[in-house]
Structure 1
Amino acid sequence: MIRNIALLLVFGLGALYLAVLMVVAAPLLLLARFAIGAPPGIKRADQILQCPAEDYFPREDLA
């Protein structure tokens, strides 16, 4: 009985911790993506390599 309650607490608190971590980490990762200057259409990291340089550095900045 006590072992079942202990297992329930351990796994229940672990699942709760992971759920909170995902809810907190997802918006932070989105903010970080925009903070590094990724264009809004970027969904995955490998798409950054397919973007032209003008997405990051407009031509007037390069002159």
Structure 2
Amino acid sequence: MTDVAKGVCDTDAVNVSQLNDSVKSILNSSSTYMNNSAAGILESTSTYTDNSAASTLKSANGFVE
């Protein structure tokens, strides 16, 4: 079969182009979500590490006096 139109009703068949477009959209959305999540996690861990290092240094300086 060739030149099959895109399905519009829930019971219609889907053509390969329509299926590929849906898969690409899902992959792009999940990639964006993961990238944003990873960036947020990295920011949180960096802030935690910076704060912990500053606190440790402050404590260590207190013992030097």
Shorter-normalised TM range:
0.5 to 0.7
Structure 2 counterpart of 1:18, which letter?
Answer: S
Whole-Å separation in 2 of the counterparts to 1:24 and 1:11: 20
Whole-Å separation in 2 of the counterparts to 1:55 and 1:32: 15
Tell me which residue corresponds to 1:57: 57
Whole-Å separation in 2 of the counterparts to 1:9 and 1:19: 15
Question: Normalising by structure 2, what TM-score?
Answer: 0.55
**How big is each residue's C-alpha offset from its partner over 1:17-47, in whole Å with a ceiling of 9 and x where there is no partner?**
01111222211110011122x26xxxxxxxx
Whole-Å separation in 2 of the counterparts to 1:55 and 1:20: 33
Larger RCO of the pair (alpha carbons < 8 Å, separation 6+): 1
Tell me which residue corresponds to 1:11: 24
Flag structure 1 segments of 5+ consecutive residues without an equivalent: 40-53
Tell me which residue corresponds to 1:49: none
Flag structure 2 segments of 5+ consecutive residues without an equivalent: 5-14
Whole-Å separation in 1 of the counterparts to 2:56 and 2:21: 50
Whole-Å separation in 1 of the counterparts to 2:43 and 2:56: 18
Please identify runs of 4+ aligned residues in structure 1 that moved more than 4 A: none
Structure possessing the higher radius of gyration over alpha carbons: 2
